Copies of this chain bind each other. A is one copy, B any other.
């Protein structure tokens, strides 16, 4: 994302790639909400604009966090999916859920789902990963 890295700190490295308000929401859409098309990301509640969405998808692809390929059913459509490197951000994203749910009085997160994540985080991550491993 940045042309030059700011330091050799791993936290700064991570923030250089996903430290903005949108990238992790696209990864959330891909991994937690099973979205895969441009139009689906565009329709998320946060109302991302088309230029920011296009920019972030390109950056995420350049950073090796997502990949795109032609839809087999409709060759004009592109399908996005997380890579292994992107899937490895799942624990980080689940920590964001836990923190957000704790401090956001107006959260709309389904609490049964949040409990499941908390109770068996490894199993939760494994289940999501399985979804992507089945696809070619």
Contacts and interface: CB of A to CB of B under 8 A. Distances in A.
A92 interface: yes
Given A15-B24, A15-B25, A19-B20, A99 B88 contact: yes
A121 B2 CA distance: 30
Contacts of A7: 44-46, 108
Nearest to A97: B10
Interface centre among A13, A28, A108 (most CB of B within 10 A): A13
Q: Is the interface of A mostly helix, strand, loop or mixed?
A: helix
Question: In the complex, which range does the number of interface residues on chain A fall in?
Answer: 35 or more
Contact of A21 (B20, B25, B88, B89): B20
A11 interface: yes
Interface string A14-45: 11100111001100100000000000000011
A15 B21 contact: yes
A8 interface: yes
Interface of A: 2, 5-16, 19-21, 24-25, 28, 44-47, 85, 88-89, 91-93, 95-104, 106-109, 114
6 contacts: A6-B21, A6-B47, A11-B25, A13-B107, A88-B99, A91-B99
List 3 tightest A-B contacts by C-beta distance, closest first: A10-B100, A8-B108, A7-B45
